[in-house]
Amino acid sequence: MPPADIAVNDIIELKLAGHLFGQQMLNVFHYRASTTGLDNTYYASIDSFVTAWNASPMRGSFLACAPNEYTFDNIFCQRVSPSRDVYRFLGTGANGTGGAANPAVEANACITKRTGHVNNHTAGVHTNVGGTGAVHLPGIPSSGASAGLITPAYSITLDLFALDVKSSVIDANTRTWIPCLWHRNNTPQPSSDDLIDAVTKVEVRVLTRRTVGRGI
């Protein structure tokens, strides 16, 4: 049987898969269904969200932050809470529009996502509920960094993306999706918190590479 349809407060995971100079890169975002929709199947609900996101300003602002050499390959989307269900897939094949890449391909820009939690503790008890998350952009245009800092011009581009990161998505079936942080390791069960802000970090950051199959 197919999975049950999306219900209010279900969490979906959106993965943006791409590559830059042979290095695969994933950007992951989570959204909470805050309303019901007109669709009545899981697959229709996920497809409706992906279509709405792919047509949203966030897609364009994401690519504007990425260098021209970055290829945005695929979108993967699935429900991850309260159950983990099959993902839906959409090929994109788009490229970044931010200009030529910085030769230091590990360099990147970062957006900090914030919720109402100030830290990982509530009333002195560790709950694995953090108040912040991060979006590490895939690479950085050569014109976007100077002396270890984000340039003023590139900061404007990042600020526009940050605005879209914290913005809700409304699909064609009238369901509203609110961006959130999903705390998968929270006990006794996973939880989420809606984003209240997203801000640009002024420092150039460094991506950590992983060797496929090695767990490092």
Lowest pLDDT segment from 63-72, 89-98, 100-109: 100-109
Q: State the Cα angle at 42 between 196 and 198, rounded to 5°.
A: 15
Nearest to 59 by CA among 43, 45, 72: 72
Q: Is residue 213 part of a domain?
A: no
The percentage of residues in the chain with a pLDDT greater than 90, rounded to a whole number, is: 69
Instruction: Tell me: pLDDT of 121 over 50.
Output: no
Structural domains counted in the chain: 1
Alpha-carbon 213 to chain mean position: 24
pTM of the model: 0.90
Question: Where does the pLDDT of residue 102 fall: very low under 50, low under 70, confident under 90, or very high at 90 and above?
Answer: confident
Burial 12-43 (b: 16+ CB within 10 A, else e): bbbebbbebeeeebebebbbbbeebbebeebe
132 is in which domain, residue-wise? 11-206
Kindly state whether residue 211 falls inside one of the protein's structural domains: no
Q: What's the pLDDT score for residue 124?
A: 45
Q: Does 216 map to a domain?
A: no
- Specify whether the CB–CB gap between 120 and 128 falls below 8 A: yes
Average pLDDT for 155-163: 98
Per-residue confidence at 130, pLDDT binned at 50, 70, 90? low
